Amino acid sequence: MTLPRFILSLFAFLFLFTSNVGTQVVSAAEKPNIVVIMADDLGYGDLSCYGATHVSTPHIDRLAADGQRFTSGYCSASTCTPTRYSFLTGNYAFRRKGTGIAPPNSPAVIQPGTETIASLLQKAGYQTAVIGKWHLGLGGSDGPDWNGELNPGPQEIGFNYNFLLPTTNDRVPQVYVENHRVLNLDLKDPLWVGNKKPSPDHPTGLTHRDTLKMDWSHGHNSTIHNGISRIGFYTGGHAARFRDEDLADEWVKQSVKWIEANKDNPFFLFFSSHDLHVPRIPHERFQGKSPLGFRGDSIVQLDWCVGELTKTLDRLGLTENTLVVFCSDNGPVLDDGYKDGAIEKNGQHKPAGPYSGGKYSVLEGGTRTPLITRWKGRIPSGVSEDVVCTIDFAASFAAMAGIQLPAEACVDSFNVLGSLLGEKNARGRDHLVQQDNGQGGNFGLRVDNWKLQRHDSRQARNVKVSVELANTKVSRYRLFDLSTDPGEHQNVIDAHPEVAERLIAQLTKLIEGGRSR
Ligand code: NG6
Ligand code: CA
């Protein structure tokens, strides 16, 4: 080869090589729209695509039929605030104080400057929004300034827009928060929120119990709004108050509006439903639509919301360019403080499917929950046994969008994108820590089909759903083989001391090591 020809071929090679690398980089980063639909208190067995026969969820079933349905899909905790904290930050909630169920006047649980799934996607050019239940506190160390600026909030940790139920529907106040303000607040009728009775004659669920449209069974006996007494006290803000019956419609209305406005850029929508959290007050048109009472009717309402969102994506031609993820924030509970007939009307329905425990518990029923991914044309349809968790969405979506995770961010979030996209040779997690609420509670560790339970908290042991544990003298550690005993009935720790030892050491290291990634 002559020198000029050699130089020419070298250039040709370099051109091909670099342009090839270029295409690889471009095709490696995919930026579909992402819609995460998180249900509240929805159990493994609560959907017809997960085996429920007493309630029908056609829209969610369609999502599952068109995508991947996970049989080992988890949220990281068995209550709301820690799961949501972990989903957003990619960090286990037990690592940080103040991540247990947030009270009405909780300050922001996630500090500004913390990297979140939303801030990571913003870096990749996404528009980001959270619409629905927040329950991660608002405001600085003094808590929310309800009549002023609610800052910090979602906008300080990566969301361009928020439209919120600030705490839970059973915690005061029953108002919407749009960005930094209570929506429709008349400052001549200021909103006051506290944990003590504001005046001796303030009507409560205790003093005016006979006026309630839904009676309470435990807790929930403070300020009355919409005929329902709540956790905590408040006065004022009447023009801003919502009707429980209208929440689902409002989440859908605001989401459709926001998707329409953002259809031309990649967007990330966290659709955070309040269903089926107590008080379960579905819209009048859903009442009586299931044989399970208001708990089942709320599942029907949730399913309707999913249908409206997927219809919107279809209408705007976004279905083949949108990854939809459906999940829950913790396992199921029947009586969570109101007499809504959930127990009486439950019949043969199994809210946690084959699993034991539920909300508040580190048994599988507490965190193993429905998890579905759909991206038409990209994700094959099928059922996956890979272990994936809501805590992994941050690392996985960052990887998909081509964003490098900073070493100190999302320290417990694993990139399980291959599994979430239903790729053949993908493997999910090889271990997962489960927790109940906040710090210092109980833990679960799943490794392959082994499940280790570690019981540290007496109080959590006595929570209703774990009654079988509370009544026996629970030793700190128990071991189960989920392949033969999914219900965690048979403690096999004595038969497998070497497995127990290995898992105890692994769990201790994961808890004390400060990070798992
Ligand atoms: C509990 C409430 C329960 C529910 C839960 C939080 C009582 C007796 N129980 O303290 O009703 O609100 O907190 O649920 O008040 S979560 O899904 O938001 O974590
Ligand atoms: Ca919840």
Write down the pLDDT at residue 8: 45
Q: What is the pLDDT of residues 492-506, one digit of tens each?
A: 999 999 999 999 999
321 within domain boundaries: yes
Q: Please, what is the Cα angle at 296 between 293 and 301, to 5 degrees?
A: 120
Q: What is the pLDDT of residues 113-161, one digit of tens each?
A: 999 999 999 999 999 999 999 999 999 999 999 999 999 999 999 999 9
Q: Cα separation of 60 and 50, whole Å?
A: 10
Write down the pLDDT at residue 58: 98
**The one-letter amino acid at 232:** G
Please state the separation of Cα 460 from the chain's center in Å.
21
Write down the pLDDT at residue 11: 46
Smallest CA-to-CA distance from 29 within 403, 492, 471, 484 is with: 403
One domain, residues 293 and 345: yes
Reading the block at residue 377, the tokens are 């044309």
39 within domain boundaries: yes
Q: What is the number of the ligand closest to the CA of 102?
A: 1
One domain, residues 508 and 460: yes
Residue that has been written with the tokens 């250039």 in this structure: 11
One domain, residues 476 and 379: no
Give the burial class of 153: count Cβ atoms within 10 A of its Cβ; 0-12 exposed, 13-18 middle, 19 or more buried. buried
Q: Cα separation of 168 and 136, whole Å?
A: 10
The finding on whether 274 has its CB within 6 A of some atom of ligand 1 is no
3-state SS, residue 190: coil
Q: Cα separation of 449 and 452, whole Å?
A: 10
One domain, residues 136 and 154: yes
Low-confidence ranges of the chain (pLDDT < 70): 1-28, 458-474
161 within domain boundaries: yes
220 within domain boundaries: no
Question: Pick from 368, 400, 430: which residue ends a domain?
Answer: 430
Reading the block at residue 325, the tokens are 């993820």
81 CA closest ligand 1 atom index? 19
478 within domain boundaries: yes
Write down the pLDDT at residue 475: 74
Q: Cα separation of 369 and 73, whole Å?
A: 6
3-state SS, residue 233: strand
Q: Cα separation of 314 and 277, whole Å?
A: 29
For residue 101, report the distance from its CA to the centre of ligand 1, in Å.
7
Residues in Cβ contact with 86 at an 8 Å cutoff, skipping those fewer than 6 apart? 75, 76, 77, 92, 93, 390, 391, 412
Q: Whose CA is nearest to atom 18 of ligand 1?
A: 80
Question: Pick from 430, 457, 480: which residue ends a domain?
Answer: 430
For residue 336, report the distance from its CA to the centre of ligand 1, in Å.
7
DSSP state of 405: P
DSSP state of 406: P
CATH number at residue 256: 3.40.720.10
CATH number at residue 503: 3.30.1120.10
Q: Cα separation of 100 and 109, whole Å?
A: 10
Sign of CA dihedral 466, 45, 168, 372: positive
Number of domains in the chain: 2
517 within domain boundaries: no
Supply the Cα-derived Rg of the chain in whole angstroms.
Answer: 24
Write down the pLDDT at residue 10: 47
66 within domain boundaries: yes
Question: Pick from 398, 430, 462: which residue ends a domain?
Answer: 430
**Residue-level length of the chain:** 517
Write down the pLDDT at residue 474: 60
One domain, residues 450 and 416: no
One domain, residues 340 and 476: no
194 within domain boundaries: no
Write down the pLDDT at residue 20: 35
List the end-to-end C-alpha distance of the chain, in Å, as a whole number. Answer: 51
Write down the pLDDT at residue 9: 45
Residue 154 · residue 164 · CB < 8 Å: yes
One domain, residues 343 and 396: yes
435 phi/psi in degrees, rounded to 5: -135, 165
Look at strands 432-435 and 382-389 and give their pairing. Answer: unpaired
For residue 102, report the distance from its CA to the centre of ligand 1, in Å.
9
One domain, residues 370 and 452: no
Residue 295 · residue 349 · CB < 8 Å: no
Q: Cα separation of 121 and 159, whole Å?
A: 9
423 phi/psi in degrees, rounded to 5: -75, 145
Reading the block at residue 230, the tokens are 């709540």
Reading the block at residue 147, the tokens are 């009549």
One domain, residues 137 and 280: yes
Alpha carbon separation from 395 to 158, 312, 319, 426 (Å, rounded): 15, 27, 23, 15
Mutate which of 174, 220, 231, 295 for ligand 1? The one with the most ligand atoms within 8 Å of its CB, which is: 231
One domain, residues 348 and 495: no
Reading the block at residue 334, the tokens are 């029947």
One domain, residues 84 and 17: yes
Q: Cα separation of 81 and 94, whole Å?
A: 11
The finding on whether 133 has its CB within 6 A of some atom of ligand 1 is no
Domain that holds residue 369: 5-183+245-430
Residue 110 · residue 85 · CB < 8 Å: yes
Residue 201 · residue 207 · CB < 8 Å: no
One domain, residues 415 and 495: no
Alpha carbon separation from 280 to 184, 291, 334 (Å, rounded): 24, 15, 11
DSSP state of 32: -
For residue 407, report the distance from its CA to the centre of ligand 1, in Å.
34
Write down the pLDDT at residue 22: 32
Write down the pLDDT at residue 28: 62
The finding on whether 277 has its CB within 6 A of some atom of ligand 1 is yes
The finding on whether 231 has its CB within 6 A of some atom of ligand 1 is yes
Q: Cα separation of 419 and 385, whole Å?
A: 9
